[in-house]
Amino acid sequence: MSLEIVSTMGSGSLGRELDLDVLVNAIRGEVGESLEVNFTSDGIVTLRLNENGSAFTVYRTGTFQIRGADSEDALRQAESTFREILKRIDVDVPSYDFDHVTSVFVGDLEQPVDLSAVSILLGLESTEYEPEQFPGLIYRPPESPFVLLIFASGKVVITGGTSRCRAEEELTSLRTRL
């Protein structure tokens, strides 16, 4: 029973407000035309420094998120790259913080699962299963920060925390209960 990390997300703050148009133009001047830019609104922009790279969502307030790194090391590297670019384009950062917020793991129970029976077994108060709305069962184990999405194929997506060890414990616990 293996567990694979497929995505991580981190969040931080630059401790100041930003003019996003000025920021984007300065970053484009630093990294070139390969920069992908998507303004969600006047106050939010998502940047990709390279194709298939991590996405940097920057808010006018100075907070930011980094999504899509496939490991904690890759998340830290993306954050380091972001910090270095800000330094090179002379963005004054009075305070800077960054935290690894969540990871998404994928595991396999190595057997098909009857989701209706599993929802009863795990307890209706801890599960949501509406196959017309979503093809998986949503399980929120008591006393756990994790959420497990269980699919009939036996695949399990685990999110809501950063610890691989703890996610493995949740998968092992689920397998034992089944």
Residues 6+ apart with CB under 8 A from 137: 115, 118, 119, 127, 128, 129, 149, 150, 151
Enter the DSSP assignment of 6.
E
- pLDDT tens-digit map of 78-133: 999 999 999 999 998 888 899 999 999 999 999 999 999 999 999 999 999 999 99
- Rounded to whole angstroms, the Cα distance separating 51 from 67 reads 14
Q: What percent of the chain stands above pLDDT 70?
A: 99
Please, which pLDDT band fits residue 1 given cuts at 50, 70 and 90? Answer: low
- 61: phi then psi, degrees, rounded to nearest 5: -70, -15
pLDDT given for residue 95 in this prediction: 85
By CB atoms closer than 10 A (0-12, 13-18, 19+), residue 147 is: middle
pLDDT, the chain, mean: 93
**pTM of the prediction?**
0.82
Q: Which amino acid is at 50?
A: N
Domains of the chain: 7-100 (3.30.310.10), 109-177 (3.30.310.10)
- pLDDT tens-digit map of 45-59: 999 998 888 999 999
Crossing angle for the helix pair 72-88 and 20-31, to the nearest 10 degrees: 100
Please, which pLDDT band fits residue 2 given cuts at 50, 70 and 90? Answer: confident
pLDDT given for residue 141 in this prediction: 95
pLDDT given for residue 37 in this prediction: 93
* Residues in the chain, total: 178
Q: What percent of the chain stands above pLDDT 90?
A: 84
- Rounded to whole angstroms, the Cα distance separating 177 from 98 reads 37
